[in-house]
Structure 1
Amino acid sequence: MLNVTLASAQPYDVMVFVGRFRFFHNGHLAVMRRALRLGRHLIVLVGSCRQARSLRNPLNFDEVRATILDAFEPAERERLTIVPLIDRYNDIEWLADVQAAVHEVVGRLHPAGGPEPRLCLIGHGKDQSSYYLKMFPQWASEPVPNHESLSATPMREDYLADAEAGLAKWAAHLPANVVDFLRSFARTEAYRNLAEEAAFIADYKRKWAVAPYPPTFVTTDAVLVQSGHILLVERRNNPGKGLLALPGGFVDQHERIRDAMIRELREETRLKVPSGFLEGSIKAVQVFDYPYRSARGRTISHAFLIVLTGDRAGLPKVRGGDDARRAFWLPIGELEPEQMFEDHWHIIRTMLPYASRD
């Protein structure tokens, strides 16, 4: 139960703060301390959870949760509830996730039958990623200024380029426990893999720096399913080396997008199904264009759902080729988002419902 002695001093029962917190810095800490002054309890919703480590999300939920909690005294931690959120391409689904998470926590803090709890969303509208602050009219809203104009993006970039130099530059803007954690994390294989990918991406972007304007890349992905299985590849190279992905790749200058999808599908999996049969089995096509879906830059993917009819001979034989270390069929129920490249798990979740439609 909440500490009822705080009620007279604080205008809200529950404060809500949404962010990715990678890395948790003094700006986040300042917002949370203000939230704890305004409310009796603070719900922290950590976005972009249940996905593979990436340059934008190098830490998993448990690590983020620990860095937040360790920045507070024990009495303050009792007033914090930290909950993971997954990314969604559909805003309505994301809003429902937030509402459900808050409702579940509030239900535990405020049993039914009492007065309606007073809720308030707190946050700083720093950029286009903060549009959510206007999407909860049922709650009060508390805007806050950007503490010291801090942003986690340059912190991540400097840290992954050189952990020691990055921490020396940003240590004054991070809670001491976060600095300690990041020093330890820099000695792990996970950090080394991320640093290798960061170097690859930096070199990749340098090669395009001479373009007269930032490039936009067009790619394709094949969501190929049969008999409750989905065809995946393991990536051979960075970005995402070792992660699982949908077969796909870049569209050549002189080919149609559909032709590029079938070409990449066959190059990466050595699938022997005739092209005409694959085209005739397409059930849905959808564009995935979230501006930050790829670390390489603006990358727009056209995903094709292909549904093959079950065959007594079993699943078609496949093997890795081109950029794929291996190709294989995976039971759909065994998909793990933490193993998937970029937003491919979200692409799969979005496309699969179309498999059963005529």
Structure 2
Amino acid sequence: MSGEEGYARSAVYVGRFQPPHRAHLGTVLGALEAFPRVLVLLGSANLARSVRNPFTAEERAGMFRAALREAGVERGRVLLRPLADRFNADAWAADVREAAREVLGDPAPALVGFEKDASTAYLRWFPGWERLLTPSVPGLNATDLRATFLTGRPLPEGVPEPVRAFLARFALTPAFKRLQVEWEAVEAARASLPPGAGLHEERWLYVRGEQVWLHTRTGPIGRGLWELPGRVLPPGERPEYPADVVIDHPARALVAPTTAHVYLRPVPDFLPARPVTLAQALVRPRRFHEDHHVLIWRWVGGHLRGDG
């Protein structure tokens, strides 16, 4: 516990909120009954638009704020901040703790949320923090909402009116059309895999001097985004040669759990790639497919330091 009185003085609520819905709003309102302030951390803020993360952190914050205003929440009681995905539990948890200290001035607030699956295992990553668990709303989750929205079906009752209004406007944008195409491609790719199949991919992370070699995606999934040069292997196939780095975070890929085998060496001639200024690449995380920017940041910063 924390605070001068020996208990948490504020609360932290972490989620992707893609998009925010009634259960998210109800969780915040419930936390406000117990605490004067709630910090909402908008996860995956560093990832490009995709069928899993259609909305930017700014867009999600705007939807959340509008729904809170409609619910009569006093301004300043709920603080919204972006939170990057690190695909590393320890680093990510450290970011959450740092945000609590910087924004709330509280080193051990209450952690708010409900445990629905492995994605909320983080509720156990903060020993010493008070936990405020809230019930889920049956039949309402953001995964199903995204499927409904991207396939053009009517939204359920659990979408607050300000969120519904934003989604209606977003549906008129080119970004929405691109995401609909990506949705169909992801669903088709999943349907082509054996049930429960995981995949392996080979990626080359090559830095020389002040440049990193990248490829621009042309297919319907992640069209126009940068990626590390490489290839996804057919189901059941594994790389022939040992990699320098292996990344197997279960949420890193869109289609299926995919283990990345990363080679820290020049890109083979058979793979298309071109040099991009490393400084430019590092400051544009949302220009990258899946977790490829995180891979560059982690291994360039920690291992290469620009020496190729």
Whether 1:301 and 2:233 are equivalent positions in the alignment is no
Does the Cα contact within 8 Å between 1:40 and 1:79 map onto a contact in 2? Answer: yes
User: 2:35 corresponds to which residue?
Assistant: 39
Distance of 2:26 and 2:235 partners within structure 1: 50
Does the Cα contact within 8 Å between 1:221 and 1:302 map onto a contact in 2? Answer: yes
Does the Cα contact within 8 Å between 2:87 and 2:252 map onto a contact in 1? Answer: no
Distance of 1:179 and 1:253 partners within structure 2: 39
Does the Cα contact within 8 Å between 2:197 and 2:235 map onto a contact in 1? Answer: no
In the alignment, residue 152 of structure 1 is paired with which amino acid? A
User: 2:275 corresponds to which residue?
Assistant: 329
In the alignment, residue 354 of structure 1 is paired with which amino acid? H
Q: How many pairs were matched up?
A: 297
Does the Cα contact within 8 Å between 1:13 and 1:117 map onto a contact in 2? Answer: no
Larger Rg: 1
Give the CA deviation at 1:140.
0.9
Does the Cα contact within 8 Å between 2:108 and 2:128 map onto a contact in 1? Answer: no
User: 1:286 corresponds to which residue?
Assistant: 245
Distance of 1:34 and 1:124 partners within structure 2: 12
Q: 1:256 to 1:125 in 2, by over 3 A?
A: closer
Does the Cα contact within 8 Å between 1:16 and 1:119 map onto a contact in 2? Answer: yes
User: 2:180 corresponds to which residue?
Assistant: 195
Give the CA deviation at 1:218.
1.3
Does the Cα contact within 8 Å between 2:204 and 2:266 map onto a contact in 1? Answer: no
Distance of 2:163 and 2:257 partners within structure 1: 31
- The runs of 5 or more residues in structure 2 that have no matched partner are none
User: 1:280 corresponds to which residue?
Assistant: none
TM-score by length of structure 2 reads 0.88
Q: Percent identity?
A: 31
Does the Cα contact within 8 Å between 2:205 and 2:263 map onto a contact in 1? Answer: yes
Give 1:239's match in structure 2, choosing from 221, 224, 244.
Answer: 221
Does the Cα contact within 8 Å between 1:218 and 1:299 map onto a contact in 2? Answer: yes
Distance of 2:25 and 2:102 partners within structure 1: 24
User: 1:275 corresponds to which residue?
Assistant: none
User: 1:355 corresponds to which residue?
Assistant: 304
In the alignment, residue 182 of structure 2 is paired with which amino acid? E
- The runs of 5 or more residues in structure 1 that have no matched partner are 1-7, 108-115, 262-283, 309-315
Give the CA deviation at 1:250.
2.5
Does the Cα contact within 8 Å between 2:199 and 2:236 map onto a contact in 1? Answer: no
State the Cα RMSD in Å: 2.7
Give the CA deviation at 1:180.
0.6
Counterpart mapping for 1:156-305 below 5 A:
156-162=146-152, 165=153, 168-170=154-156, 172-208=157-193, 211=194, 213-251=195-233, 257=239, 285-305=244-264
Give the CA deviation at 1:12.
4.8
Q: Which structure has greater strand proportion?
A: 1
Q: 1:223 to 1:117 in 2, by over 3 A?
A: closer
Distance of 1:117 and 1:197 partners within structure 2: 41
Counterpart mapping for 1:4-19 below 5 A:
12-19=8-15
Q: Which structure has greater helix proportion?
A: 1
Distance of 1:342 and 1:118 partners within structure 2: 32
* SS of structure 1 residue aligned to 2:36: strand
Counterpart mapping for 1:112-123 below 5 A:
119-123=109-113
